[in-house]
Amino acid sequence: RSVPLSTDMSDEEFAKNYLKELYAMQEDNTPSFGRKVSEMSLKLSEMQEFFGLKVTGTLDAETLEMMKQPRCGVPDVAA
Amino acid sequence: YRADSSSNKWPTNKLTYRIENYTPDMSVAEVDDSIQRALQVWARVTPLKFTRIYSGIADIMISFAVGDHGDGSPFDGPNGFLAHAFGPADGLGGDTHFDDDETFTFKSSNGYNLFLVAAHEFGHALGLDHSTDPGALMNARYTYRDVDSFVLPRDDVRKIQALYGSNPEIPDKPEPTPPPTPNACDPRLVLDAVTGLRGETYFFKNKFFWRSHPQMPQTEQFLIKSFWPELPGDIDAALEDPSADLVYIFKGQKVWALNGYDVVNRKSLSSFRLPATVKKINAAVYDESTGKMLFFVGKSYYSFDTNNKKMDKGYPKQVEERFPGMTGKVTAAFQNNGFTYLFSGPRVFEFNESTLMRVLGNKHFLQC
């Protein structure tokens, strides 16, 4: 079950911070011409695969719920 | 922290630890005891020895901190990240920090149990990564489990012993067998119980359950205690009474009534008017077409009228009378889309009313 967050961040902003912290997602400041898949989508896929969720590469409700569960602050993948 | 575990271990089996400060949530003695027991979780299955020091630099420096505490990985306030630890190395290596914006507890399931959080973090401090096994202590998600009967799961034992080897000392009493996480692909898998819950189906086995949503192809596996901390493992039976939005969980003479994630009532098996000779049931199902609860005991079953709150007359009857072809003991049961599914060991018998339609395996329901 999800745990309420003490934050005013939007879900997408929250997800970005989660992926930066735990999946080594870089801040994307460059234009994305020619990129077929965004890094956020790739990192979401990594996270969904790790937790055995349906791998969609998108921020669905199930993935967000998983992100909001209490957890260890150590990354799931190598930095 | 580096995830390259194969080279990420301490070069010695003799490690020191120091508790630098304390959380106000617990007494000093409770923190000391929780930390010591959390380290022993790993010491019991390896040659590792932990010695506490009270000054100077220890291999594992333990502290409680909030927000930005100077290691480049700030904590985030209540919930979210609970703690973190650095893998084996000099300096920060091995150090373990707890987010003191959390409420830590000694024995209770309210708040976050310090022993469980610490045991997980010390796994990192010794060189372990997160595990994808939902039953593993090293799974990234915090899950409350019974602290008094805690036994390090098999996945964690295998991984820590791959780094440090097993404990060469013969213990005074044999260690309990590490509990494995049930595998949906095991053809010999015999489920404990199956029930619906608000449109989803829950399949119970030992301390775990799989959760299946009709619109989702995947089934997820969880520890029972992660949803209902009060419930035991190894349950006998479960059924949903959708008209009352209640799920009943049976173990021996005890019955728990659940409304979603809340335990709303505790009853005894006798409250269902079963004879006193019935000490436990093997399976149960709510028949939506009749409003009856069917309780399976061996090769017989009882029928309980939920409207009149009494046992129907003429029971027990042989299961095969109502479900021809069902000759074995019913070990689990549930209804879905008008079909009744009776589990007997690893086989599942699908009935439409009293007609046997198919004989299936667990894989029909569980993703493998």
Residues of A in contact with B261 (CB under 8 A): 1
**How confident is residue A5, by pLDDT bands cut at 50, 70 and 90?**
very low
Note the pLDDT tens digit of each residue in B170-225.
666 667 778 889 998 898 999 999 999 998 999 999 999 999 888 777 788 889 98
Per the model's pLDDT, the better-predicted residue between A35 and B299 turns out to be B299
Radius of gyration of chain B (CA): 24
Cβ–Cβ under 8 Å, residues B207 and B257: no
Rounded to an integer, what distance in angstroms lies between the CA atom of residue B230 and that of residue B109? 9
All residues of chain B having their beta carbon less than 8 Å from the beta carbon of residue A60 are: none
* Predicted local confidence at residue A36, as pLDDT: 52
Q: Which of B130, B213, B215 to mutate to test the interface with A (most CBs of A within 10 A)?
A: B130
Please indicate whether, in this complex, the C-beta atoms of B81 and A50 are within 8 angstroms of each other.
Answer: no
Answer left, alpha or beta for residue A24, where phi above 0 means left and psi between -120 and 50 means alpha.
left
Are B48 and B3 spatial neighbours (Cβ–Cβ below 8 Å)? Answer: no
The label of the residue with tokens 């008094």 reads: B148
Taking CB atoms and an 8 Å cutoff, what residues of chain B touch A1? 227, 261
| Residue B58: per-residue pLDDT | 97
Residues B286-331 pLDDT 10s: 999 899 999 999 999 999 999 888 999 999 999 999 999 999 999 9
Q: Averaged over A23-49, what is the pLDDT? A: 75
Task: Determine the average pLDDT of the residues in B262-281.
Answer: 92
Assess B1–A contact: CB distance below 8 Å, yes or no.
Answer: yes
Question: Is residue B2 over pLDDT 90?
Answer: no
- Residue A21 binned pLDDT confidence (cut-offs 50, 70, 90): confident
Question: Do B3 and A5 make contact, defined as CB atoms within 8 angstroms?
Answer: no
Radius of gyration in angstroms for the set of CA atoms belonging to chain A, rounded to a whole number: 13
Distance (Å) from the alpha carbon of B163 to chain A's nearest alpha carbon: 18
Q: CA B220, CA A74: separation in Å to the nearest integer?
A: 23
pLDDT at A8 over 60: no
pLDDT of residue B172: 65
Q: What is the mean pLDDT of chain B?
A: 92
Our answer to whether residue B320 is catalytic in this structure is no
Q: Tell me, what amino acid is at B163?
A: L
Percent of chain B at pLDDT > 90 equals 74
In angstroms, the separation between the Cα of residue B218 and the nearest Cα of chain A is 7
How far apart, in whole angstroms, are the C-alpha atoms of residue A72 and residue B206? 25
Which one of A51, A54, A70 has the shortest CB-CB distance to B80? Answer: A70
Q: Give the active site residue among B102, B121, B220, B288.
A: B121
What does DSSP say about strands B60-65 and B96-99: parallel, antiparallel, or unpaired?
A: parallel
| pLDDT score at B76 | 92
Q: Which of B289, B291, B319, B315 is nearest to B303 (CA)?
A: B315
DSSP A8: -
Distance from CA of A70 to the nearest CA of B (A): 5
pLDDT of residue B180: 84
Q: Which residues, listed in sequence order, are joined to residue B293 by a DSSP beta bridge?
A: B286, B304
pLDDT for the residue numbered A30: 55
pLDDT, mean of residues A8-15: 82
- Number of Cβ atoms within 10 Å of the Cβ of A26: 10
- pLDDT-based confidence at residue B1 (cuts at 50, 70, 90): very low
Residue range B89-113, pLDDT digits in tens: 999 999 999 999 999 999 887 899 9
The mean pLDDT of B220-243, rounded to a whole number, is: 91
Tell me the nearest-neighbour CA distance from B81 into chain A, angstroms. Answer: 5
Q: How far apart are CA B248 and CA B214, in angstroms?
A: 21
What Å distances lie between residue B262 and A12, B103, B271, CA to CA?
Answer: 30, 21, 20
Least confident range from A21-30, B132-141, B295-304, B358-367: namely A21-30
Residue B317: its H or E element: strand B317-318
pLDDT in tens, B13-61: 999 999 999 999 999 999 999 999 999 999 999 999 999 999 999 999 9
Confidence bin at B368 (pLDDT 50/70/90) = confident
Identify the H or E element spanning B339.
Answer: strand B339-344
First to last CA, chain A: 28
Question: If you average pLDDT over every residue of chain A, what do you get?
Answer: 78
Model confidence at B241: pLDDT above 50:
yes
> Would you call A68 and B141 a contact, using CB atoms and an 8 Å cutoff?
no
Helices marked H in B214-349: 224-227, 319-322
Is the pLDDT score of A10 beyond 90?
no
Is the pLDDT confidence value at A28 over 70?
no
From residue B129, alpha-carbon distances to B3, B118, B257 in Å are 6, 15, 38
What's residue B110's pLDDT?
A: 84
